[in-house]
Amino acid sequence: MGKENKFYKKMMIRINKTLLFGLVLFLGLSINGFSQESAAFALWDKIPGEIKNATYKEDVRLDAQGKRTGVNKVVEPTLVPFLVENNSTKNAAVVICPGGGYSGLSIDKEGINVAKWFNSIGVSAFVLKYRLPSDEIMKDKTIGPLQDAQEAIRTLRRNAVKWNLDTNKIGIMGFSAGGHLASTASTHYLDKVYDAKGDVSARPDFSMLIYPVISMENGITHNGSKESLLGKKASDDLIAKYSNEKLVDVNTPPAFLVHATDDGAVPVENSINYYLALKQNKVPAEMHLYQNGGHGFGLGTKGTNTDWSASLEHWLSANKIIAEKSVYLFSYFKGNGEDGLHLAYSDDGYKWLTLKNDTSFLTPEVGKDKLMRDPCIIKGGDGLYHMVWTVSWTDKGIGYASSKDLIHWSKQEFLPVMEYESGTRNTWAPEITYDEVNKEYMIYWASTIVGQFKETQSTEDSGYNHRIYYTTTKDFKTYTPTKLLYEPGFNVIDSSILKDAKGYIMFLKDETKAPVQKNLKVAYSDKLTGPYSKAGQPITGNYWAEGPTAIQIDGKWLVYFDKYRDHKYGALKQTADGWEDVSDKISFPSGTRHGSVFEVPKSTLVQLLKE
């Protein structure tokens, strides 16, 4: 009989899902929305304090056009997951509690739409379809929603590894009455409202309360929410218990609050009083009060209240809940490199603007000619920016300096990397790559050693016949002996190596003059120090190119290079079929010469813009 019951339940679930799908099609609801909601899962195996009621059924609220505006009479609470897709195993996550006066849920406007926005900033989101207080299905309706909120937070923590979540960055967000639930979860997390499994904490790490109901006190509360949760004749003790501004203490999670001053449904004093209580207890908090917007504006459609999501993103970043947004910087030189380091920035990797009015950030001081050509900058494992550059046309070494902010630099050093090779003619276009596994840096460059690689020796280009050499260091104090890194069987220069999904990719220039090449090619290796594969076919066109530097944007390589005969910069974008020339889509400052591209936090750019 038990097996038959289980089979019957499974069949009914399948039938109900089929019927639900048909209902969605019939009502013209968003298939994309349905597709996401089909991933919803039940919050409970056994709902605590449940009263079985066959006549009490969930229903969907529709507008005149048949569009869903909410759900009522939730019987089975669920979580709808919106997992962010990235390579991190430690993503922040948020439980979203839609509003609706504790009598319905605005599941789309204050749930699904918000979850999608969270995904856009790298946060996983879970829309909580919580039970609405009802004596018809709950033994104690005052704790029903809190039971669901606590279990949702615990569910995220229990499944953190599976869903790539950081257990110390689990937050809760609530709108209107959902804001009351979120603030209740933030102040009642120690309340034992059901028999929880194990010792997993129900405390949110942070909360976001959007035009929230906070208090149950007369004159400030939202009466509909109060009556739905506490009943028409709530005692003074019960009112005080769920007036959450009164329960804030030093352990209450940090909060971000949003409210419109002209909110006619939930007085703005709800947010103000909660903020003041947080301030009194020295709990980090930020509040945004808008002149207008009324109640229920969601992500906002007009007016100043539409800015709150951008402010929330900044708050999450400032509190290190999400990574700070980054921008792209480009280091380059002008002329012969006499005046030193120039920097440009870009938000999208295509349009580049100068910094410091295109004047130098660092004047060269080392080497025979005291030049700063081909400046290559990376951010190392120690958090510092490390730079190497060409100091001279004929020297046996390169320049090195480091910086915390790209403004203040360490004392410049001359690294005599080719001093033991007596026939060395030059040390050009140095680059630096960090090996995260071995926690060391590889510095590499192009040099011509007289008498070496005679099979490719030519009288063209003043007889230069380069190969790529390297040294490694962990501390920029001691360096391994210089070794040959790449011998492709031709005159090679301007190598730039980056980590990719399969290992390492090297962009390089074939410097052969006869027969003319002067193009860019690609080689690969499993290890940073090689061996590297045979160089592939040219990826650049019928023009001379040099100085490749690349960065991944949206998972695809974008390679910049100097079309030095044309006195302008070009770019290639990686595609499924190879490489697309996008030179006509980029713009660089006039006179930009061979440099490097790298990412920095936006706060770093803000400081650079002040220079």
The model's pLDDT over 547-569, given as tens digits with 9 standing for 90+, comes to 999 999 988 999 999 999 999 99
CA–CA distance, 561 with 550 (Å, rounded to integer) = 9
Alpha carbon distance 377, 143 (integer Å): 57
Per-domain boundaries in the chain: 23-301, 326-609
Can you state the angle between helices 177-187 and 223-230, rounded to 10 degrees? 60
Cα–Cα distance between 189 and 170 in angstroms, integer?
13
| Complete DSSP assignment for 289-353 | EES---S--TT-SSSGGGGHHHHHHHHHHHTTSSPPPEEEEEEEE-TTSSS-BEEEEESSSSB-E
pLDDT band at 438 (very low <50, low <70, confident <90, very high): very high
Q: What does the pLDDT read at residue 37?
A: 75
Higher-confidence residue of 155 and 18: namely 155
DSSP codes, 533-560: PPP-S--S-SS--EEEEEEEETTEEEEE
Q: For position 302, what pLDDT does the model report? A: 67
| pLDDT per residue as tens digits for the range 237-267 | 999 999 999 999 999 999 999 999 999 999 9
Strands of 342-346's sheet in order across? 353-354, 342-346, 326-333, 593-601
Closest CA to 110 of 70, 76, 82: 70
Q: Residue 69: pLDDT above 90?
A: no
pLDDT given at position 24: 38
Residues 6+ apart with CB under 8 A from 178: 96, 97, 98, 99, 100, 105, 110, 212
Element (H, E) at 442: strand 440-447
Q: Give yes or no for residue 601 having a pLDDT over 80.
A: yes
**Residue 218 pLDDT:** 94
- pLDDT on residue 14: 38
Task: State the average pLDDT over residues 435-456.
Answer: 97
Residues 6+ apart with CB under 8 A from 124: 81, 82, 83, 84, 91, 92, 93, 94, 118, 163, 164, 165
Residue pLDDT, tens place only, 331-380: 999 999 999 999 999 999 999 999 999 999 999 999 999 999 999 999 99
Residue 114 Rama label (left phi>0; alpha psi -120 to 50; beta): alpha
CA 295, CA 314: separation in Å to the nearest integer? 23
The dihedral over CA atoms of 512, 514, 520, 522, expressed in degrees to the nearest 10, equals -70
Does residue 15 surpass a pLDDT of 80? no
pLDDT above 80: residue 289: yes
Residues 6 or more apart in contact with residue 355 via CB below 8 angstroms: 342, 343, 344, 345, 361, 608, 609, 611
Question: How much is the pLDDT for 303?
Answer: 65
The answer to whether the beta carbons of residues 208 and 131 sit under 8 Å apart is no
Q: Residues near 269 by Cβ (< 8 Å), separated by ≥ 6? A: 215, 220
Asked whether the predicted pLDDT for residue 29 surpasses 70, the reply is no
pLDDT of residue 443: 98
Q: Is the pLDDT of residue 31 over 90?
A: no
Average pLDDT, the chain: 92
The CA distances from residue 453 to 489, 492, 532, in Å, are 8, 12, 18
pTM of the complete model: 0.72
> For domain 23-301, is the CATH number 1.10.760.10?
no
Q: What's the pLDDT at 514?
A: 93
Rounded to whole angstroms, the Cα distance separating 49 from 179 reads 23
pLDDT more than 70, % of the chain:
93
Is the confidence at residue 277, as pLDDT, over 80?
yes
Whether the CA torsion 181, 185, 190, 194 is positive or negative: it is positive
What is the Cα–Cα distance from 6 to 584, expressed in whole angstroms? 64
Complete DSSP assignment for 351-374: B-EESGGG--SB----SSS---EE
What are the tokens at 402? 């480091």
Return the pLDDT at 12.
41
pLDDT tens per residue, range 371-415: 999 999 999 999 999 999 999 999 999 999 999 999 999 999 999
Beta carbons of 467 and 453 less than 8 angstroms apart:
yes
493 and 509 Cβ atoms separated by less than 8 Å: yes
Looking only at the bridges linking them, the beta strands covering 440-447 and 428-435 are: antiparallel
SS3 label, residue 599: strand
Instruction: Show the CA angle centred on residue 492, arms to residues 335 and 502, nearest 5°.
Output: 105
CA 505 to CA 496: how far, in whole Å?
8
Q: Is 67 within 8 Å of 106 (Cβ atoms)? A: no
Among 209, 212, 405, residue whose Cα is nearest residue 315: 209
| pLDDT at 460 (0 to 100) | 93
Cβ contacts of residue 436 below 8 Å, gap of 6+? 381, 499
CATH code for the structural domain at 326-609: 2.115.10.20
Tokens found for residue 324: 């700070």
Instruction: Tell me the C-alpha distance between 82 and 127, whole Å.
Output: 8
414 three-class SS: strand
Cα 392 to Cα 336: distance, rounded to the nearest angstrom: 10
Which pLDDT value is given to residue 307? 85
